[in-house]
Amino acid sequence: MHDETLYDCIIIGAGPGGLQAAIYLGRYNRKVLLIDRGGGRTRHARHIENFLTWKGISGKQLIELGLEQAASFNVRIEKGLVTKVLKKGSFEVFVGDTTYHSKFVIVSSGVYDNLPSMEQLHRFLGISLFTCIDCDGYKTTGRKLVIIGNSIKTVHLAIAMKEMFTEDITLILYSDKIPDEYKEELRDENIRFIIDRPVRIIGDDTIEALELKSGQRVACEVIMSHFGFKLNDDFLSELNLKRDRDGFKFMVNQQYESSLSGLYIVGPLNTGTDQAVVAAGQGAVAAIDIKSRLLEL
Ligand SMILES: Cc1cc2nc3c(=O)[nH]c(=O)nc-3n(C[C@H](O)[C@H](O)[C@H](O)COP(=O)(O)OP(=O)(O)OC[C@H]3O[C@@H](n4cnc5c(N)ncnc54)[C@H](O)[C@@H]3O)c2cc1C
């Protein structure tokens, strides 16, 4: 099935990045289609406290207000999973058995966290189990913290958390493959560390302890989980876009255009910081650039 409309821009993903871009392009009276499959990382954020003018807002509310605002500027919003994007002159965007066409595409499909498998994780995720120092480090201030992870970067995180938020830290690492100088630094910083794996969070309304595979229980009030994330990028696989040196994140220019002309990538899929307000800012920059290019066309 072909939607005969040639959209000025199709936006993939209704997180802060995609919604902000949609609001700008809608307010330029452009023909815009926003496609979102539902769910998403921002929707899982229970309390966002660092978004300008909102001392505390749930991610769900932020998205719902954004959808309402975009729709009020005549942005067409469709629920669906984008499975493929191609460029044959104009862009072709595939959703189920429908193909949509556009002059420009903004990808704002976000990322998803790698989470360790342990009992009760989802009960506390976003409340007292966190994954991001910039989002939720503050909420650990002065509290008994356990950090779990599997890389040297987790050691850096523990030292940073101690410097900014709390003295009371236990670090649980999956493997002992950390150089001696790091172990020494942890000792100097008075950060306890244990080589083991978590299996269960103990507690009903609040976290009381983390139970490890060895049976040991580590008392704590908050947990920081640090296992990185994956990109929601399967639908871009046929475009051969340029990535960073690690072959992971997408390279973009200052307007967030990727190595393929006309296709913009905003939010944590590019090499920038993973924050709602940053994704929104990038969405605005991409939309303003597309406005100028549509005028040139
Ligand atoms: C628990 C938690 C707490 C957080 N707290 C904060 C905080 O306090 N402050 C802060 O600034 N940031 C916070 N973040 C991070 C913030 O949510 C991200 O930086 C932000 O989501 C990035 O926005 P985005 O628009 O790029 O992507 P997202 O918000 O992830 O939105 C992407 C959208 O694209 C959709 N999508 C993905 N693939 C497809 C596809 N193939 N087809 C159609 N749709 C698709 C998804 O379903 C989703 O709706 C938090 C994240 C989590 C998980």
Q: If we measure between CA atoms, which residue out of 226, 222, 224 comes closest to residue 144?
A: 222
- pLDDT tops 90 at residue 297: no
190, two tokens: 């008075």
Same domain, 57 and 129: no
Domain end (from 226, 246, 270): 226
Same domain, 172 and 129: yes
**pLDDT-above-70 percentage for the chain:** 99
Same domain, 108 and 233: yes
Same domain, 14 and 83: yes
Ligand 1: list residues with CB < 6 Å: 12-18, 35-42, 44-45, 48-50, 59, 81-82, 108-110, 113, 126, 132, 135, 232, 235, 267-268, 274-277, 279
> From CA 72, how far away is CA 32, in angstroms rounded?
12
165, two tokens: 């938020």
- What pLDDT sits at residue 155? 94
- pLDDT tops 80 at residue 2: no
Same domain, 159 and 14: no
Three-state SS string over the chain comes to: CEEEEEEEEEEECCCHHHHHHHHHHHCCCCCEEEEECCCCHHHHCCCECCECCECCECHHHHHHHHHHHHHHCCCEEEECCEEEEEEECEEEEEECCEEEEEEEEEECCCEEECCCCCECHHHHECCCEECCHHHHHHHHCCCCEEEEECCHHHHHHHHHHHHHCCCCEEEEECCCCCCHHHHHHHHHCCCEEEECCEEEEECCCCCCEEEECCCCEEECCEEEEECCEEECCHHHHHHCCCECCCCCCECCCCCCECCCCCEEECHHHECCCCCHHHHHHHHHHHHHHHHHHHHHC
CA 188 – ligand 1 centroid, Å: 37
Q: What CATH code is carried by the domain that includes residue 128?
A: 3.50.50.60
- What pLDDT sits at residue 4? 85
The model's pTM: 0.95
Binned at pLDDT 50, 70 and 90, residue 23 comes out as very high
Q: What is the mean pLDDT of residues 160-165?
A: 98
CA distances to 17, 18, 66, 285, 287 from 273, rounded to whole Å, are: 12, 16, 21, 15, 19
- pLDDT tops 90 at residue 178: no
Same domain, 233 and 108: yes
User: Do 289 and 295 contact (CB within 8 A), yes or no?
Assistant: no
- What pLDDT sits at residue 175? 85
- pLDDT tops 80 at residue 259: yes
Same domain, 137 and 100: no
Same domain, 215 and 265: no
- 98: domain range? 2-112+229-296
Q: What is the mean pLDDT of residues 75-91?
A: 97
| pLDDT mean across residues, the chain | 95
The best mutation among 12, 67, 109, 134 to test binding of ligand 1, ranked by most ligand atoms within 8 Å of the C-beta, falls on: 109
pLDDT one-digit tens code per residue, 44-82: 898 999 999 988 999 999 999 999 999 999 999 999 999
Same domain, 62 and 144: no
48, two tokens: 């966002």
Same domain, 66 and 106: yes
- Other C-beta atoms lying within 10 Å of the C-beta of residue 185: 16
> From CA 23, how far away is CA 20, in angstroms rounded?
5
Q: What is the mean pLDDT of residues 146-164?
A: 95
- What pLDDT sits at residue 121? 96
Output the CA torsion sign for 113, 108, 260, 77: positive
Binned at pLDDT 50, 70 and 90, residue 1 comes out as low
Domain end (from 167, 197, 226): 226
Same domain, 123 and 211: yes
Pick the atom of ligand 1 nearest to 277's CA.
Answer: 11
Count up the domains in the chain and report the number: 2
- What pLDDT sits at residue 42? 93
Domain end (from 226, 252, 285): 226
Same domain, 44 and 125: no
The best mutation among 11, 33, 37, 41 to test binding of ligand 1, ranked by most ligand atoms within 8 Å of the C-beta, falls on: 41
Binned at pLDDT 50, 70 and 90, residue 25 comes out as very high
